[in-house]
Chain A
Amino acid sequence: MTPAAPPALRADGVTVHYGTHLALHEVSFEVGAGELVAVIGPNGAGKSTLLRALCGLVAHRGAVELAGHRCHHRRDRMGTAYIPQRADIDHGFPITVGQLALAGRRRFLRTGQRPGREHRRAAETALRRVGLAAEADRPLGALSGGQVQRAFLARALAQEARLLFLDEALSGVDQPRTEAMLDLFEALRRDGATLLVATHDLALARRRFARCLAINTRLVADGPPARALDNAALEATFGSALSPTR
């Protein structure tokens, strides 16, 4: 009998302080390989902090394991990719879509080493996967909101990240493009990638995600939308300001 595969991600008591402010308190959960998970919560609930902590971009207490390996150093998390929210991206920066995708290959290069043909091919493949092959030479700032998120996804794919953390990736993206993005997430999930998507769109979370993590400094609920987004969980997550029927 073969032992069960370890979860793609295990968070155990993840706690984050910004100075004296407690941003995240003892958050623990597991995510299996190939899961598509929505992380929901109000503004300031700690969604971005959680994703950043899991990637090792924010100092935290508690343990993070990737595929059964406990992360001690930054290099242990090179197989994860954090895709920032739109407000955190410098849209005026002079970088092309192709250069952005190629930046994902840096984990396979030494300092000063130029990316060779195989790396360029990997970046092109990643761009094709997200439907941006024709945009490789365009500046990132010339793309629409949804295309920018796709370009960052291409960078994550070029990085060969198996765990993708998308911070408000669907904010400011119109309905048809949101659906197309979710179709892409679903396709990546079927290919074996694990995706955690922070969102505050409850209707979308209910409709397109099989599992939701409700966060408000601590983990309030975890499960399928019917359970994680029921009235009691929503009130605990968002407070009484939110109508539970929304």
Chain B
Amino acid sequence: MTDLLRWFSEPYGSSFMRNAGLVAVLIGILAPTVGVWVVLRRIAYLGDAMSHGTLSGVAAAYFAGINVAIGALCAGLLMGLLVALLERQRRVSQDSAIGVIETLLFAAGVLLISRNDRAGVDLTHFLFGQIVTADRSDLAVNAALTSVALMVVAVLFDDLRTITFDAPHARQVGVNVRALQLALIVLISITVVVSLDTVGLLMSVALLITPAATARLLTNRVETMTALAVVIGVSSALGGLTLSYHLATPPGPTIAVATVAWFTGAIAVGRPLGRFRHPMT
């Protein structure tokens, strides 16, 4: 037992690893909380595409000399807007619209990076994450963004459930469905921004989707699903970070693998646990 505790605590002796641990906890809370609605609304592909498309915003902000978080946020919003506009064409389905816009924004990001060799090196940090380089200012920004996003989810929780389950009814009782859809796009964008330091753009979807999808296997209540997803997210982020220290592996992919391990476990025990859930017809 003592050995196990030492194994967990040893990496966090240094301040840079403590910062990394706190950043991991923040994304471990935020991404699954937002991810619950991404999973329930069945827009996992949009979440994945937004994480990739955000590269253009990160690259543009980098070259403009402004905070990359602002660039990432703008790119996420631009992606949501372009997908919505393209969807209005009756012959373009949502997944096709997402595929086209994701390609455009990701390619734009790669083209921008290719114009500057040094930038290419720096921007790979955002693609794959560099959690151990997170400093106090990164921590402060991520904590502020996470707090705002969690408050928004808490305030809109009932309305998110209503628009996800029955959007026509939501409209009828006065819920602004479009505003909530936009709010969700903003929340996904914020999640991607907070993921930049930890798992990076390419694997941010691991913490956005997998913990929520895992929790969905274990419960029939959104509140419980959110709590379980957060537990899975935080334990995957911290567990993955700790494991990466001991195995000398990159933290981002190790965290991503940890989330999938939870998912695999839930698939394995999902059937026995199903006995304790309310039956679904």
Contacts and interface: CB of A to CB of B under 8 A. Distances in A.
Interface of A: 19, 52, 55-57, 74-75, 77-78, 80-82, 84, 89-96, 99-100, 103-104, 106-107, 111-112, 114-115, 138-139, 141-144, 155, 159
A175 B162 CA distance: 31
A94 B173 contact: no
Contacts of A80: 172
Contact of B221 (A78, A81, A96): A96
B220 A94 contact: yes
In the A-B complex, the 6 residue pairs with the closest CB atoms: A112-B155, A141-B280, A107-B173, A106-B173, A139-B220, A139-B278
B173 A78 contact: yes
Contacts of B13: none
B278 A138 contact: yes
A115 B280 CA distance: 27
A106 B161 contact: no
Given A82-B168, A95-B165, A111 B155 contact: yes
Interface in B116-170: 155-156, 158-159, 161-162, 164-166, 168-170
Interface in B10-58: 40
Contacts of B170: 106
A52 B168 contact: yes
B172 A56 contact: yes
B174 interface: yes
B162 A106 contact: yes
B2 interface: no
A100 B170 CA distance: 11
A87 to B, nearest CB: 14
B166 A84 contact: yes
Contacts of A141: 220, 280-281
Contact of A77 (B90, B172, B225): B172
A142 B168 contact: no
Contact of A95 (B173, B222, B279): B222
A134 B79 CA distance: 46
A95 B161 contact: yes
A141 to B, nearest CB: 4
A94 B225 contact: yes
Contacts of A107: 172-174
B172 A57 contact: yes
A78 B174 contact: yes
Contacts of B221: 94, 96, 139
B94 interface: no
Given A74-B174, A106-B173, A112-B155, A142 B161 contact: no
Nearest to B155: A112
A93 B40 contact: yes
